[in-house]
Structure 1
Amino acid sequence: MTGWAARAAELYDGRHRRMLIDGEWRDAASGEVIEARDPADGRLLATIPKGGAADIDAAVTAARRAFEGPWSRFTPFERQALLLRIAERVEAEWQDLCLSDTLDMGMPIQRSLANSRRVLGMLRFYAGQAVAIHGHTIANSFPGEIVSMTVREPLGVVGAIIPWNAPIAGSVWKIAPALATGCTVVLKPSEEASLTVLRLARIMQECGLPDGVLNVVTGLGADAGAALAAHPGIDRIAFTGSTETGRAIARAAGGNIKRVSLELGGKSPVILCRDADLDRAIPVAAMAVFANSGQICIAGSRLFVAREIEDEVLSHLADHARGLRLGHGIDPEVDLGPLISARQAARVESYLQRGQDEGARLLTGGARVTPEGLAGHFIQPTIFAGVSDDMTIAREEIFGPVLSVLPFDDPEDALRRANATPYGLAAGVFTRDLGTAHKLAQRLRAGTVWVNMYHAIDPAVPFGGVRMSGHGREGGTEHLDEFLDTKAIWINTD
């Protein structure tokens, strides 16, 4: 047994885990549980509570009590110090947290480990922001000796809902800015990947987070998630997930006009110009879609290639895809792990078939496979050539390792077609021409555009989408605005 496998057996041996409400580790009010299974081999990792509306109500009540009570008396310096303590503990337990992600949702351990700069950076970045929140004095034109100013105040109780494809990063991206600003949180992780989030919550509790400031309710989206989105005691919903669910969240939030931020799906284009450095561009463009087995919202799933270099690009792309190793994520040599579930694998398989039925040419991959000794949900990295813009695989988010290659005649052609989507989350451009890079980056309709790179995310840089990819930003100083209210104060000094 490898070192990672031995530690995996110690971390999760099928025992029950509880959720955190008001500083207590509890079962669901209903007593029901959900099985957490390793998507690579089906092994039972643990059981978790199947929380529902009653548990959400208890968590919101606890979060409100903490917000108006002990947490309101924490100074910015104290919030900063707490976040820095949490960062130290997360760094000390980083390998176990990464292994938990690998077991719970399949992400290869090497990819999990490589996220340390991002996650630890987020905790420390928001710790710095905790002591940098300020208002302004404003010169007004009101008659008399009148002073006017603004103050920034924490919004209140935040409801956060995250998907299963990046539990560590996704939860920290919701929790850290809320704590920095003085808000409290009720977090609902995906029922398909809750174990790492519960482990992270325990770390935060042990670092001195007051009871009720962070509450984690595990359960189904249709039950616990829907109850959280609609709860009148929530001041803001921060959601990451599918566009379809995002619509439902927005509708539910209308009951008490709570603020909503949505980070939704995408069908991100990558434009490979004829002057691109192919030795550098092709591996990056391939992993823009194949990373995390395509289970990532910013996946560069539409690759627009200049017609003059199409044959060369297709050949090298296919070689790269065939060289990727599938297997259990605890193997450090594995490049792609499993899809999260049998349901998701079946969904991706349906797109593979539809692509061929609609006339796309299968260049490589295209099948569900079972690596030796495993029984999970694996899909080969797949490349389709001869794709037209109207094909289903070129229009719909697949959330699997499936790349559509579309030739273009000139940059204007590529730009027009890249923007011909209801989404607008991310985009990539590969070119050696600075003018082309600027022109395409400015005119692509996306929240993030990468030039001669992909997948770069930094705590100081805002991230989010436009159009059906959502609204609001995570990261950067803009993110703090999502958790703060601005109050105007007028003082008559006469």
Structure 2
Amino acid sequence: MSETVKIISPVDGSVYAERPIASEAELDRAVASARSAQGDWAMKSVAERSRYVIAALEALMAMNDEIVPELAWQMGRPVRYGGEMGGVEERTRYMVQIAEAALAPNRYTDKPGFTRYVKREPVGVVLVIAPWNYPFMTAINTIMPALIAGNSVILKHAAQTLLVGERLAKAFEAAGIPKGVFQNVVLSHSQTEKLLGSGKIDHINFTGSVAGGRAIERAAAGTFASLGLELGGKDPAYVREDADLDYAIAGLVDGAFYNSGQCCCGIERIYVHESRFDDFVEGFAGMTRQYVLGNPLEEATTLGPMAQPRFADWVREQTAEALRKGAKPLIDTSKFEMDKPGTAYLAPQVLVDVDHQMSVMREESFGPVVGIMKVRSDEDAIPLMNDSPYGLTASVWTKDEEAAIAIGDRVETGTVFMNRCDYVDPALVWTGVKDTGKGAGLSTFGYDALTRPKSYHLRLET
């Protein structure tokens, strides 16, 4: 009997779906097919490749009514939020919009008698190892521009959200994409490791944990495959003295607890100017108490279960450690009847009297807990914002744009937000520093990561 992967639903702990792992022969055929198909695919024009991508996007969007409850069963996001197709469409259409210019040759005309230019060529076969928390958007961040640029793509999706890979495969099949250009595979960890070290993959994109990123680097060592690694965050927000408090509270509550806090760029710690601290905390805790924790298939639910009980247990332990060290909880979790130890259901929690000796203020939580600290000034806030191994996004809430830019210049992060958070703008590069990883996605920089430069130096006279 072949080995299988089971999706254990966070809704009720049942086996929601089960799929066989690819045999070694099937994997070999998939890789060979990707390599064989890539050359002809690269010969098509950018416009033609883009048409296939848009057709796949439209096929995927047509499945949304089925996808939304499917996602709730797989990873717990409430159906009331409607899935991810808005972000998928925005990012895909933007990458199509900029493709011709981003992939056009750079021409140099300052030397008479010569034709000189640099082309952008596809890297070849791209392996996407996608996560479960935003299983469509994180996958298409690489899949769509990789295909538009002329690469073939092999997708290995997270075990928790295997059906997302199948949905994407169906969408590309409906679009009529040539055989081998896009493939979805179900692999074991050992198979993935072997593939990474095979030398048959030209670019690897992985979104996941720091430990996972390090394992990817080790497995691919010596192959010279390029890497894109997004490995999480501990994203801070700073509420300045001049902030619009009601606006900041609403934005940051959503930024902290949307998707049960399971967002790479979700808000995990907040620093508030001392003059606004009490009012901010009161409003933030009051809004947090309004969440309804429950079955994500019910419309009334605004906070679903985390994807797995062990993820909820990690957040419970982080919170317990903070309480042992003197933190004060502002949310009475007994009011949330579904919150039970050992389950994936976890109430939101807001902590004050926190400090950076507590894990909850420095190490990634990836769940519905946030610590709030009082600060005296920008000079007080900036070192605290930097005091984490991660650097994905940082958020400043203020009426002073110059101050936000000045603070952003000193914060170690990939993206600086002012008066917003937890959003990926496809026009801007998605990147990070420190343990958040390396590489670039979306924008013109995303195309740079998925192509290689090739120089042409042609002398017209002899």
TM-score by length of 2: 0.93
Q: What corresponds to 1:300 in structure 2?
A: 267
1:150 aligns with 2:118: yes
Q: What corresponds to 2:97 in structure 1?
A: 128
1:468-487 map, 5 Å = 468-487=435-454
User: Per-residue displacement from partner, 1:31-54 (whole Å, max 9, x unpaired)?
Assistant: 211222321122332211234765
- State how far apart, in whole Å, the 2-side matches of 1:56 and 1:130 are: 31
1:196 aligns with 2:164: yes
Letter in 2 for 1:120: E
1:348 aligns with 2:315: yes
- State how far apart, in whole Å, the 1-side matches of 2:335 and 2:25 are: 40
Shift of 1:365: 4.8
Contact 2:232 2:364 in 1 (8 A): yes
- State how far apart, in whole Å, the 2-side matches of 1:117 and 1:460 are: 15
Shift of 1:361: 1.3
- State how far apart, in whole Å, the 2-side matches of 1:245 and 1:160 are: 14
Alpha carbons of 1:488 and 1:336: their partners in 2 closer, same or farther (altered >3 Å)? same
- State how far apart, in whole Å, the 2-side matches of 1:355 and 1:53 are: 47
Letter in 1 for 2:143: I
Shift of 1:341: 0.9
Alpha carbons of 1:157 and 1:147: their partners in 2 closer, same or farther (altered >3 Å)? same
Contact 1:104 1:193 in 2 (8 A): yes
Q: Per the alignment, in what secondary structure is the counterpart of residue 267 of structure 2?
A: coil
Q: What corresponds to 2:49 in structure 1?
A: 79
More displaced, 187-196 or 50-59? Answer: 50-59
Shift of 1:486: 0.8
Alpha carbons of 1:92 and 1:438: their partners in 2 closer, same or farther (altered >3 Å)? same
User: Per-residue displacement from partner, 1:339-379 (whole Å, max 9, x unpaired)?
Assistant: 11122122222112111122211221567966399x95111
1:174 to 142, 157, 162: 142
Contact 1:265 1:425 in 2 (8 A): yes
Q: What corresponds to 1:311 in structure 2?
A: 278
1:448-467 map, 5 Å = 448-467=415-434
- State how far apart, in whole Å, the 2-side matches of 1:385 and 1:52 are: 52
1:391 aligns with 2:351: no
Contact 1:161 1:225 in 2 (8 A): no
Count of residues in correspondence between the two structures: 459
- State how far apart, in whole Å, the 2-side matches of 1:490 and 1:435 are: 45
Alpha carbons of 1:140 and 1:436: their partners in 2 closer, same or farther (altered >3 Å)? closer
1:215-294 map, 5 Å = 215-220=183-188, 222-294=189-261
Shift of 1:333: 2.3
Q: What corresponds to 1:97 in structure 2?
A: 67
Alpha carbons of 1:391 and 1:378: their partners in 2 closer, same or farther (altered >3 Å)? same
2:376 to 400, 403, 409: 409
Shift of 1:171: 1.7
Contact 1:370 1:376 in 2 (8 A): no
User: Per-residue displacement from partner, 1:204-236 (whole Å, max 9, x unpaired)?
Assistant: 11210111111112234x324323332310001
Alpha carbons of 1:451 and 1:365: their partners in 2 closer, same or farther (altered >3 Å)? farther
Q: Per the alignment, in what secondary structure is the counterpart of residue 300 of structure 2?
A: coil
Shift of 1:131: 3.3
Contact 2:156 2:165 in 1 (8 A): no
Q: What corresponds to 1:117 in structure 2?
A: 86
1:432-451 map, 5 Å = 432-451=399-418
Alpha carbons of 1:249 and 1:488: their partners in 2 closer, same or farther (altered >3 Å)? same
Alpha carbons of 1:52 and 1:263: their partners in 2 closer, same or farther (altered >3 Å)? farther
Gaps of at least 5 residues in structure 2 are none
Shift of 1:321: 1.2
Shift of 1:106: 0.8
Letter in 2 for 1:154: P
Shift of 1:139: 4.4
More displaced, 377-386 or 353-362? Answer: 353-362
1:372-391 map, 5 Å = 377-391=344-358
Shift of 1:56: 3.9
Q: Per the alignment, in what secondary structure is the counterpart of residue 260 of structure 1?
A: strand
Q: What corresponds to 1:66 in structure 2?
A: 37
1:40 to 3, 11, 18: 11
Contact 1:370 1:378 in 2 (8 A): no
Shift of 1:165: 0.3
Alpha carbons of 1:347 and 1:53: their partners in 2 closer, same or farther (altered >3 Å)? farther
Once superposed, what is the RMSD of the aligned Cα atoms?
2.2
Contact 1:349 1:368 in 2 (8 A): no
Letter in 1 for 2:46: P
- State how far apart, in whole Å, the 2-side matches of 1:372 and 1:397 are: 21
- State how far apart, in whole Å, the 2-side matches of 1:427 and 1:99 are: 32
Q: Per the alignment, in what secondary structure is the counterpart of residue 460 of structure 1?
A: coil
Q: What corresponds to 1:4 in structure 2?
A: none
Contact 1:269 1:303 in 2 (8 A): yes
TM-score by length of 1: 0.88
- State how far apart, in whole Å, the 2-side matches of 1:430 and 1:161 are: 34
Letter in 1 for 2:108: I
Letter in 2 for 1:87: L
Alpha carbons of 1:130 and 1:439: their partners in 2 closer, same or farther (altered >3 Å)? closer
Q: Per the alignment, in what secondary structure is the counterpart of residue 132 of structure 2?
A: coil
- State how far apart, in whole Å, the 2-side matches of 1:198 and 1:99 are: 15
Q: Per the alignment, in what secondary structure is the counterpart of residue 237 of structure 2?
A: strand
- State how far apart, in whole Å, the 1-side matches of 2:99 and 2:61 are: 20
Identity %: 31
Contact 2:266 2:421 in 1 (8 A): no
Letter in 2 for 1:172: I
Contact 2:78 2:299 in 1 (8 A): yes
Letter in 2 for 1:274: E
Contact 2:292 2:302 in 1 (8 A): yes
